Amino acid sequence: MKSSLSYEQLKAAANQYGTPLYVYHAEKIQSQYQNLLTHFGNNHARFFYACKALTNIHILDLIKRIGCNVDCSSINEAKLALHVGFNPKNVLYTSNSVSFEEICEAVGLGIHVNIDSLSNLEKFGAKFGSNYPVGVRIRPNIMAGGNLKISTGHDKSKFGIPVTQIDELKAIQEKYAINIATLHIHTGSEIKDVQVFMLSADVFDALLSYFPSVNVLDFGGGFKVPYKPDEKGTDIALLGAEVNKVIEKLSAKYGRPLIAWFEPGKYMVSEAGYFLAQVNVLKKSGDIQFAGINTGLNHLIRPMFYDAYHYIDNISSPLKEKQNYAVVGNICETDTFAWDREIPEIKEQDILVFYNAGAYGYEMASNYNARYKPAQVLYENDQHKLISRRDNFEDLLHLQMPL
């Protein structure tokens, strides 16, 4: 199975649909999922694609077709999943700071909910008692992930119920006989070190005796993917082996069959995505050579938001000698995609590609500066199709009351 799109395929999409353009590769998403299945024992793990990374319904449909489950961060994501035909049993909703009404709505939809505050757990107990199995998200006080902005498990994070409040958690569970079926920990994004997941396993180990009804240990997502050419992602083979071991160990220790759940977002779609943009202007300033492109942080915010690195190539002339460029956007903000980056020599009108654009790319795009959001295209079986069109001028007006 081919694991990347060729320059020719990317050029064909740019020619047909124009730029800026997001292009996704179905087979890459499928092979990422297959890799997880290969390395985790079938009875030991289930995977829920954290769909906030990319929610287009054609991507969700692909996720469903390949047999993967889905994890949602809002009730509307859950509704999108049900809209494309997911069975509610295959949909997980990991809420944070949501209203209790939204949790009730999720229960009404029949999906599994992870509750992340004592306050909502108390309300849940009062309303549903032991009638609806539920998950609780624990904040383990572990520092992990690529950087503070994408870390969620440390002791100042808003996410989850602090592990230090276990007695209060247990008291609420007992008061209403709540059926806590799953424990959840998600420590952050871009976690390369497999041992971080083993720290979560230690926390689960410490909690399992409190919760005899728990049969699922949900380790969250956050697998790292390579962004730079020489970088390595999370070692999935090692992680699979370690998780299989720890699941067997804990199942034996507590005398009940346990299973691990994971919620990979980036891992599933990051590398399957390509963002194409055209160079509008070249501008020299001292040593700096700016390449100004027809997009900006309105379409790909990750470099400015998280200092994220995206590898950039020139698909119009990939074989030219490399020169150094500052790649900048066309938005009235400083929107630098890369400083001092080596890229094959650029001419105006050339098309650049940003790799790793599948996760949190289009999904975080906006109409800032009243620019149109890019179109999105999916390649599957070497055929491309439009999965969302570019905005037009009507779209900029359609929510506004007419003058």
Strands 112-115 and 288-293: unpaired
CB of 73 to ligand PLP, least distance (A): 6
Q: Name every residue whose Cβ is closer than 8 Å to that of residue 13 and which is 6 or more positions away in sequence.
A: 21, 23, 276, 377, 379, 384
Nearest to 90 by CA among 131, 39, 49: 49
Question: Do the Cβ atoms of 21 and 276 come closer than 8 Å?
Answer: yes
Residue with tokens 């730029």: 19
In the complex, residue closest to ligand PLP by CB: 265
Candidates 6-14, 20-28, 217-225, 228-236; binding stretch for ligand PLP (CB under 6 A): 217-225
CB of 267 to ligand PLP, least distance (A): 6
CB of 21 to ligand PLP, least distance (A): 22
Rounded (10°) CA dihedral 88, 389, 95, 257 = 40
Residues 126-145: x where in contact with ligand PLP by CB under 6 A, - otherwise, as a string: --------------------
- Active-site residue 332, yes or no? yes
Residue 362 has phi, psi (to 5 degrees) of -55, -35
Question: Do the Cβ atoms of 376 and 13 come closer than 8 Å?
Answer: no
Q: Which of 135, 220, 303, 361 binds ligand PLP (CB under 6 A)?
A: 220
Q: Which of 33, 204, 211, 267 binds ligand PLP (CB under 6 A)?
A: 267
- Does 116 participate in binding ligand PLP (rule CB under 6 A)? no
Which H or E run contains 336? Answer: strand 336-344
Residues 45-64: x where in contact with ligand PLP by CB under 6 A, - otherwise, as a string: -----x-xx-----------
In which region does residue 376 sit, left (phi positive, over 0), alpha (psi from -120 to 50) or beta (all else)? beta
Q: Which of 25, 112, 139, 186 binds ligand PLP (CB under 6 A)?
A: 186
Instruction: Name the active-site residue from 51, 72, 104, 332.
Output: 332
Q: Is 386 helix (H, G, I), strand (E, B) or coil?
A: strand
Candidates 120-128, 239-247, 252-260, 262-270; binding stretch for ligand PLP (CB under 6 A): 262-270
Size of the site for ligand PLP (CB under 6 A): 18
Residues that bind ligand PLP (CB under 6 A): 50, 52-53, 71, 73, 94, 186, 189, 220-223, 263-267, 359
Q: Which residues are known to be catalytic? A: 332
